[in-house]
Amino acid sequence: MFICSIKASTLKLAAVITTAAVALGVVIWAAPEYTPKTTAAIAAANAEYHYDKIKTNEDRIVFLEQFGWKVDAEATEEVTMKIPREFDRVMSTYNELQKRQGLDLSKYKGREVTRYSYNVTNYPGYEGKVTASVIVYKSRVIGGDVSSSDVEGFIGTFEFPRNIEDMTGDGETGKVTE
């Protein structure tokens, strides 16, 4: 014969544990689904933009125009360069800018790419020289930026600034600082 005795404190403990488990289940069930913003999620959000089939000067201009930029008809610079195999602090910061726009240069470490630069003619509220750079690998845009090399210069994503915060560093296309 087997005898089991239960104290009142054991019953209270079991009730507290059961209640906590049910409450946790309700919270998990009722909470909205959280999806962290990853480079892939940003790229999916930018799906309306086309990054491939960039073969000619006209293709690069059309690429920049899809973001709202107006540029000169000819590139001011065409440079073949190699993406470093190891990113230093500057390159890592630049790649973070790329990730904000759904791109990632780390996938192209050690690869030879071409950077095309264009004079931007419609940067809102800014009178200085602004350049749009497009980095292309095998007919696909893999990176780039819109920047000014003036003393009070800035560097930002391809996204056209929609408000003053975007132009002063508080938005996605503002200054990149460390």
Residue 121 is assigned to a structural domain of this protein = yes
How many domains does the chain fold into? 1
User: CA distances (Å), 42 to each of 26, 45, 99, 116, in order?
Assistant: 31, 5, 8, 24
Predicted pLDDT at 167: 47
Tell me whether residue 31 is in a domain: no
Give residue 42's region: left, alpha or beta (phi > 0; psi -120 to 50): alpha
- Residue 3 covered by a domain: no
Q: pLDDT, tens digit, for every residue of 17-61?
A: 777 777 777 767 676 654 555 555 555 555 589 999 999 999 999
pLDDT at 175: 45
Domain range for 65 is: 39-168
Say if 138 falls within a structural domain: yes
5 pLDDT higher than 70? no
In a domain, 114, yes or no: yes
pLDDT of 177 reads: 40
First to last CA, the chain: 74
Band of residue 162 on the pLDDT scale cut at 50, 70, 90: confident
Query: In the numeric block, which tokens belong to residue 73?
Result: 């008809």
Q: Which residue has the higher pLDDT, 76 or 151?
A: 76
Instruction: Examine residue 109 and state whether it is found in any structural domain, yes or no.
Output: yes
Read off the pLDDT of residues 76-121 as tens digits, 9 standing for 90 and up.
Answer: 999 999 999 999 999 999 999 999 999 999 999 999 999 999 999 9
Q: Is residue 144 a part of any domain in this protein?
A: yes
Q: Is residue 11 part of a domain?
A: no
Average pLDDT over residues 129-138: 97
